[in-house]
């Protein structure tokens, strides 16, 4: 029988919530493991979302969503600097097409002020159109929130996990939690491959957080799946808009937005469709038509020829209507971080701060002597001057080999992302860390070369390398080997 692995803290789920909590616990002397069912970090909602760090005027006052959104938003600039994550403070507009919508803007402004969002301002039509000249001329005003930003959501989750591991945390991938029992010391956590024991068990399992909760306690909430589909446009469409542009919100959410991404693409979406299966992350013709049609209302000349890919993400909508972040007297040491719908990405740093305080109620935490607050900087070759590039190539010729032509990613950057803590093992994992394969050709050119690099660096057969999930093998066999002509 496998030995039981013992930790002070186990976190179920390596999305932005789980990894942010792991990173927030990094200053303390404790043993911690993040258990994740898929083969990489950020494979759930944290991979496929709008990447907006919301200012915080959407959520109703006195909810956990509003509280953690506003606090999280304020934490972002410093956090992204410390962990070297792409983040841009570009501000957002909610646009109004008629007097009814102008009234909604006023309500959003008042709500935002109650929530503590700074510097909200209603702009008139002239101000809107002089700042965003490509928007529909029928727009008559906008709510401007200067504290909204954009972040690369998967790079943030990866950075959180890497930072936690640099400080001693462990990560167990492809290891779904299947059962949980109470023990004298806390919780026995059974997974596909192992048995773990933890004093503190944190449930950050995204769309499956209700299932994990029900393994420990009586059911008290349910989650349902709401899909959102997107278009991603090439960088050449980069200056279509300079701010995050929202339409007026509806019952189903914040509506279709158009925004520059942290990497200067343009993102367009999402719609909101309730579905039965949380794994149904395919895109659909109907969904994409709905998104594009709605976006054209905001930006009539949105350049469709610049679309390089489409994708969808799955919201975990809680039956309670608010985040469920709490501990329980009936199960001391068990903490739910559930129902983390939007603005969960914006709120993640503040949620993590709060959860680490909850953990302190249950175990005595002592600060480490050798805590590393910063993540080792990532060299992003395409952002450097010619002189700096030349210096790097002189020291390491792998910087002289461009693997991804679309995004200008070098072999040295790919090798680095494989060997960091929480490193890449698949093509998509390399893409999420370096952007190799994220440009116009979507990996058509660099894909085979990245397979070679992964195989060489990890010393594994090319046939075992996957695009994304472990079911997505790329090379199935030889076509031109001996005797196969
Ligand atoms: C379409 C869309 C747009 C959004 N836009 C924004 C936005 O612009 N700004 C914003 O602030 N928020 C946004 N959000 C919300 C944000 O993406 C989520 O709040 C956030 O990603 C939730 O992170 P999480 O870690 O809680 O969940 P997830 O990222 O889903 O992570 C949960 C993890 O748990 C793992 N897991 C599940 N079951 C098990 C198990 N049994 N054992 C082990 N592991 C398990 C999963 O594989 C997954 O990796 C959006 C969400 C969607 C879907």
Task: Indicate the number of domains in the chain.
Answer: 3
* Cα 440 to ligand 1 centroid, rounded to whole Å: 26
The per-residue pLDDT for 261 is 96
Q: What's the CA-to-centroid distance between 297 and ligand 1, angstroms?
A: 29
Strands 195-203 and 186-191: antiparallel
Q: Identify the CATH number of the domain in which residue 237 sits.
A: 3.30.9.10
To test the pocket of ligand 1, the residue of 42, 46, 172, 254 to mutate (highest count of ligand atoms within 8 Å of its CB) is: 46
Residue 483 pLDDT: 54
Whether 437 is in a domain gets the answer yes
Same domain, 109 and 45: no
The pLDDT value recorded for residue 484 is: 54
How many angstroms separate the alpha carbon of residue 349 from the centre of ligand 1? 14
Which pLDDT belongs to residue 479?
A: 79
- Does some domain include residue 233? yes
Could you say which residues of the chain have pLDDT below 70?
A: 1-2, 237-238, 251-253, 481-485
> Does ligand 1 have an atom closer than 6 angstroms to the CB of 315?
yes
Q: Are residues 215 and 338 in the same domain?
A: yes
Q: Is the domain of 161 the same as that of 200?
A: yes
Q: What is the pLDDT of residues 312-370, one digit of tens each?
A: 999 999 999 999 999 999 999 999 999 999 999 999 999 999 999 999 999 999 999 99
**Is the beta carbon of 247 within 6 A of some atom in ligand 1?**
no
**CATH code of residue 413:** 1.10.10
Q: Which pair of tokens denotes residue 341?
A: 């719908």
Residues 216 and 356 in one domain: yes
pLDDT of residue 239: 75
One domain, residues 357 and 405: no
Q: Which of 54, 163, 213, 243 is catalytic?
A: 54
Domain boundary among 267, 289, 314: 314
Q: Is 163 a catalytic residue?
A: no
Domain boundary among 296, 314, 332: 314
The 3-class SS string of the chain reads CCCEEEEEEEEECCCHHHHHHHHHCCCECCCEEEECCCCCCCCCCCCCCCCEECCCCCCCCCCHHHHHHHHHHHHHHHHHHHHCCCEECCCEEEEECCHHHHHHHHHHHHHHHHHCCCCCEEEEHHHHHHHCCCCCCCCCEEEEECCCEEECHHHHHHHHHHHHHHCCCEEECCCCEEEEEEECCEEEEEECCCEEEEEEEEECCHHHHHHHHHHHCCCCCCEEEEEEEEEEECHHHCCCCCCEEECCCECCECCCEEEECCCCCEEEECCCEEECCCCCCCCCHHHHHHHHHHHHHHCCCCCHHHEEEEEEEEEEEECCCCCEEEECCCCCCEEEEECCCCCHHHHHHHHHHHHHHHHHHHCCCCECCCCCCCCCCCCCHHHCCHHHHHHHHHHCHHHHCEEECCCCEEHHHHHHHHHCCCCCCCHHHHHHHHCCCCCCCCCCCCHHHHHHHHHHHHCCCHHHCECCCCCCECCCCCCCCCCCC
Distance 199 CA to ligand 1 centre (A): 25
Which atom of ligand 1 is nearest to 315's Cα? Answer: 53
**CATH code for position 55:** 3.50.50.60
Q: Which of 329, 356, 377 is the last residue of a domain?
A: 377
* Residue 10 belongs to domain spanning: 1-87+149-222+319-377
> Do 180 and 77 share a domain, yes or no?
yes
Question: Residues 266, 329: one domain?
Answer: no
Determine the residue of 192, 205, 249, 343 to mutate for testing ligand 1's pocket, defined as the one with the most ligand atoms within 8 A of the Cβ atom: 205
Mutate to test the pocket of ligand 1, among 345, 352, 355 (most ligand atoms within 8 A of CB): 345
Domain match, 265 and 404 both: no
Ligand 1 atom nearest the C-alpha of 20 is: 25
Q: Residues 6 or more apart from 191 whose CB is under 8 A from it?
A: 35, 172, 175, 176, 177, 178
* Residue 481 domain flag: no
The answer to whether residues 144 and 157 belong to one domain is no
Find the 132 Cα to ligand 1 centroid distance in Å.
Answer: 31
Q: Are residues 67 and 161 in the same domain?
A: yes
The ligand 1 atom nearest the CA atom of 312: 1
Q: Would you say the CB of residue 9 lies under 6 angstroms from ligand 1?
A: no
**Ligand 1 and 342: CB distance under 6 A:** yes
Kindly give the number of the ligand 1 atom that is closest to the alpha carbon of 347.
11
Same domain (yes/no): 40, 59: yes
d(CA 102, ligand 1 centre) in Å: 32
Please tell me the distance between residue 238's alpha carbon and the centre of ligand 1 in angstroms: 27
Q: Is residue 470 part of a domain?
A: no
Residue 332's CB is within 10 A of a number of other CB atoms, namely 13
71 domain-assigned: yes
The pLDDT of residue 478 is 76
Q: How far apart are CA 289 and CA 27, in angstroms?
A: 47
Go through the chain and tell me how many residues it has: 485
Handedness of CA 96, 104, 57, 312 (dihedral sign): negative
Per the domain annotation, does 476 fall within a domain? Answer: no
**Nearest residue by C-alpha to atom 15 in ligand 1:** 342
359 and 254 share one domain:
no
Query: Residues near 227 by Cβ (< 8 Å), separated by ≥ 6?
Result: 270, 271, 272, 273, 274, 275, 280, 281, 287, 312, 313, 314, 315
Say if 58 falls within a structural domain. Answer: yes
pLDDT of residue 471: 86
Instruction: Give residue 120's pLDDT.
Output: 98
């Amino acid at each position: 029988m496998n030995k039981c692995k013992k930790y002070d803290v186990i976190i179920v789920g390596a999305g932005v919530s789980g990894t942010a909590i792991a990173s927030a616990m990094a200053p303390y002397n404790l043993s911690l493991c993040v258990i994740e069912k898929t083969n990489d970090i950020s494979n759930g909602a944290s991979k496929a979302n709008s990447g907006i760090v919301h200012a915080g005027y959407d959520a109703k006052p006195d909810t956990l969503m509003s509280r953690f959104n506003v606090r999280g938003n304020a934490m972002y600039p410093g956090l992204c600097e410390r962990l070297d994550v792409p983040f841009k403070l570009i501000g957002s507009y909610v646009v109004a097409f008629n007097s009814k919508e102008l009234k909604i803007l006023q309500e959003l402004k008042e709500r935002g002020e109650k929530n503590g969002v700074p510097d909200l301002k209603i702009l008139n039509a002239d101000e809107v159109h002089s700042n965003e000249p490509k928007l529909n001329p029928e727009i008559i005003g906008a709510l401007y929130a200067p504290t909204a930003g954009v972040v690369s959501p998967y790079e943030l989750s990866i950075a959180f996990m890497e930072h936690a591991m640099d400080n001693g945390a462990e990560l167990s991938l492809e290891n779904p939690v299947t059962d949980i029992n109470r023990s004298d010391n806390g919780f026995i956590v059974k997974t596909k491959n192992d048995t773990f024991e933890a004093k503190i068990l944190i449930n950050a399992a995204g769309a499956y957080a209700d299932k994990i909760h029900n393994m420990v306690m009586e059911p008290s909430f349910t989650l349902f799946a709401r899909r959102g589909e997107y278009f991603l446009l090439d960088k050449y469409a980069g200056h279509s808009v300079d701010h995050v542009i929202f339409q007026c919100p509806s019952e189903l959410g914040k509506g279709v937005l158009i925004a520059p991404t942290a990497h200067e693409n343009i993102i367009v979406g999402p719609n909101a469709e309730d579905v039965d299966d949380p794994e149904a992350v395919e895109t659909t013709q109907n969904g994409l038509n709905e998104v594009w049609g709605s976006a054209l209302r905001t930006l009539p000349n949105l350049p469709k020829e610049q679309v390089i890919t489409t994708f969808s993400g799955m919201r975990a909508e809680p039956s309670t209507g608010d985040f469920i972040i709490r501990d329980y007297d009936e199960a001391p040491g068990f903490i739910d971080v559930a129902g983390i719908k939007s603005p969960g990405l914006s709120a993640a740093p503040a949620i993590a701060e709060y959860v680490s305080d909850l953990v302190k109620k249950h175990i005595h935490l002592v600060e480490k002597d050798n805590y590393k607050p910063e993540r080792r900087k990532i060299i992003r070759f395409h952002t450097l001057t010619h002189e700096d590039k030349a210096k790097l190539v002189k020291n390491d010729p792998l910087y002289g080999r461009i693997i991804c032509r679309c995004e200008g990613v070098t072999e040295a950057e790919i090798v680095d992302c494989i060997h960091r803590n929480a490193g890449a093992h698949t093509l998509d994992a390399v893409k999420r860390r370096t952007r190799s394969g994220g440009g116009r050709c979507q990996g058509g050119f660099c894909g085979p070369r990245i397979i070679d690099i992964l195989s060489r660096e990890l010393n594994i057969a090319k046939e075992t390398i996957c695009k994304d999930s472990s079911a997505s093998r790329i090379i199935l066999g030889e076509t031109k080997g001996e005797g196969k002509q």
